[in-house]
Chain A
Amino acid sequence: EAGVTQFPSHSVIEKGQTVTLRCDPISGHDNLYWYRRVMGKEIKFLLHFVKESKQDESGMPNNRFLAERTGGTYSTLKVQPAELEDSGVYFCASSRQGEWNTEAFFGQGTRLTVV
């Protein structure tokens, strides 16, 4: 069974540009989450999808961030325009629906550097 995969693994962009991160969850996992770790800080929750619906996006830092999950399958996280403070590692995770404490499986992360 394939795990959670994220693309790209690394991205270096200039301030003001747009970047789109992609996450492919484990097949059959209704829950999909985005987390972010800014340099020197804890990993922080960004948002949560249940299938194609946004369940909670309270962790999204501002309106420069837009997440979508087309058809309840893969998800994208777009940053437009990117700022220096957006640099960090973006993690995606997925889990089965139903059990609130079920294991979340994480991808390897996308390291975003804004210069």
Chain B
Amino acid sequence: GAGVSQSPRYKVAKRGQDVALRCDPISGHVSLFWYQQALGQGPEFLTYFQNEAQLDKSGLPSDRFFAERPEGSVSTLKIQRTQQEDSAVYLCASSLTPDGLIGYTFGSGTRLTVV
């Protein structure tokens, strides 16, 4: 597609519920990143994929967070047993090259509110 597409745009979850957030990167982009952005803050790195391989998951805040990209294109970020502190905008970004030197293209994000 022309850009990075994320769905849903908004998600309200009850505390304890599991959620799945989808990212459709630009076709052919090798690198895919997930970021978490709390209100009034800059995005914080969660995890990185190069094709289907998850090369870095050091930013995932707990074992309730899980990401996958099984065929090297679409990625899903899953959060189990959501907590209020998980409320944030989740951003996906992709890059054509592994080194990201031409910059990253971000999606519009999924705003997750845990009530």
- The answer to whether A binds B is no
**Taking beta carbons and an 8 Å cutoff, which residues of A are in contact with B?**
none
- B contacts, CB < 8 Å to A: none
